[in-house]
Chains A and B, each alone.
Chain A
Amino acid sequence: MLPPSPRGGRRAFTLIELLVVVAIIAVLIGLLLPAVQKVRESAARTKCQNNLKQLALAVQNYHDATGAFPPGSWMDLTRAVPTTSDRTHGNWAVESLPYVEQGVVHALYSANTRNNGPDLPNSEYDDASANQPFVRQFLPVHTCPSDPNANKVLEPETKANGSPAGRTFMTGSYRAVTGVSATGPGFTSSGLYWDTYDSDAPHTPPRERRGAIHAQSRFLGLKGERLQAVTDGASNTLLLGEYTTLTHPTRATFWARSYTSYSMSSATPGQPRALLGDYDRCVAVGGPGNTNPCKRGFGSQHTGGVINFARCDGSVRPVLTTVDTNTVFPALCTIAGGEVFPDN
């Protein structure tokens, strides 16, 4: 038998009181959530910057060990006349693997067995079947937490002449800063870039547009740059930067993809669209060179419109997406442009 319930003793919650309590809790959660979101974003940005710092130090260590910055890519020299769509070998990301504790992947990447020599067998291109397991490796140091395409294995949108179809690569978030592209009078309508070379002379843009890391080619006498050649000042010259895209994942960054513009970008003067971090929107905005500046952009998904860059002195600082694309950004991308600009 149950004891009789005490009448008028302990009073229960009324429905109104309960609703008020729920409403108060809802308001408090509503206040808290954006703060949590901000902390998460700031943590992601910090992790992203830390990765860039690690990669910049790896590139510096490569410089210490070999006397020059790593190649943006190693161009194929099996042809007498090079073309833009020639196959390529290792790139800056592959070459700096031993300095980010990935020596095993580096040793297995067969492109390193020889570099930049004539008559390379097919197995030594970055898209060779023997390299597939390694170019699909997920590397946290190459992945920005805010990258919408992080940890995806995809077939890049374009491939070199003679490259087999269906070769896939792991996405990444960071690209080498190769310099300033050349468009306008005297150059081809699509522009000249430091991540590849044109069959017509001039094969590459003028020297003062060169960045710290670019395609290397014995045919053109293009060797790795030395820190002494960075006469604009190591703290005024960008080394590596973020490129993630909100749209069009097959045009994302692929860390081990050395062909043209998948692990290297450049500045295109007067074209702010190339810093949007959104490939399809960049193409829709349009401009000189059509899609070429979009393929070679920098961009991020961080709030506040910032793109993280590592400089040649190893420091990591953001650049605003609204940066002056006529003078300041191109000046930051060259090692010896001779520009003078105020401290920023």
Chain B
Amino acid sequence: MRAFAAAALCLAGCGGGPEPVSGVVTLDGTPVEGAAVTFAPEAGDGGGVGGSYGRTGPDGRYTLKTVVGDRPGAARGKHRVTVSKTTADPANPDGRVREAIPARYTTPGALTVDVPAGGTTAADLVLTTR
């Protein structure tokens, strides 16, 4: 009966809903706190879900929510991922910002994550300075 209910729900909502995603961000083995993680589907719009975002806690763990609609999770499939931890320069509000993450991770390309059906709690992002 429960399976039937799940199947009925699936008919209404499956095929493109966000899957739950979380993971840990480390830089040279140390968890990074307060980093902004952005997942953007590698090609297409992720079945209408679009991109997702999260912010790491003290243990470096982030949990994704969709940018559009704030629903938990991320679209299924391959994503290009950026990680960033910035502070604004108060002396120059329209200019430079300070970035704590190596530059190659702040632009799409260096990191990709494949979100499987059913989601994952192990979307760990291992960053290195060199």
Contact = CB atoms under 8 A, between A and B. Distances in A.
A321 B108 CA distance: 18
List the 8 closest pairs (A to B, CB-CB), nearest first.
A184-B107, A322-B50, A286-B36, A270-B108, A272-B51, A288-B106, A189-B99, A290-B86
Given A276-B67, A321-B68, A286 B41 contact: no
Main SS class of interface, B: loop
Interface string A250-286: 0000000000110000000111110010000000011
A271 B97 contact: no
Given A272-B67, A276-B67, A326-B40, A288 B45 contact: no
A168 interface: no
Given A85-B92, A260-B94, A286 B40 contact: no
A285 B40 contact: no
- Grouping DSSP codes into helix (H, G, I), strand (E, B) and loop, the A interface class, with mixed when no group exceeds half, is loop
B106 to A, nearest CB: 4
Interface in B1-47: 36, 38, 40-46
A141 to B, nearest CB: 28
B88 interface: yes
10 contacts: A84-B94, A85-B94, A188-B96, A270-B80, A286-B86, A287-B84, A290-B88, A291-B97, A323-B45, A325-B40
Given A184-B104, A189-B106, A286-B84, A326 B42 contact: yes
B95 interface: yes
Size class of B's contact patch?
35 or more
A233 interface: no
Interface of A: 84-85, 157-158, 183-190, 196, 260-261, 269-273, 276, 285-292, 295, 305, 320-327
Given A288-B84, A288-B99, A273 B106 contact: no
B36 A189 contact: no
Nearest to A274: B67
Nearest to B109: A184
B108 A269 contact: yes
Given A185-B103, A289-B86, A322-B68, 9 more contacts: A158-B93, A270-B108, A285-B36, A286-B55, A287-B82, A288-B36, A290-B86, A305-B68, A322-B45
